Amino acid sequence: MTETTVILAIGPAAAEGIGLLIVVVLGIATWLLLRSMNSQLRKVPKSFDPPANTTGQAKRDDSPH
């Protein structure tokens, strides 16, 4: 039996069902990944800048002049 015969033996109706199942599973996986990514991004701080110095000390400047 060749591959073509095996594919034709399954039939077009079964292929449509399998294709639909694959699309639905990929859609669900994408939705779960997006939901997980959004929850992880909520944990990220709004800014990565160091906190403002509120103790009255002079700000340290490491840049050469």
Count the neighbouring beta carbons within 10 Å of the beta carbon of residue 18.
11
pTM above 0.85, yes or no: no
> What pLDDT is recorded for position 9?
61
Cα separation, 39 vs 31, in Å, equals: 12
**Over the stretch 9-23, which tens digit does the pLDDT of each residue have?**
667 777 788 889 999
> What pLDDT is recorded for position 13?
73
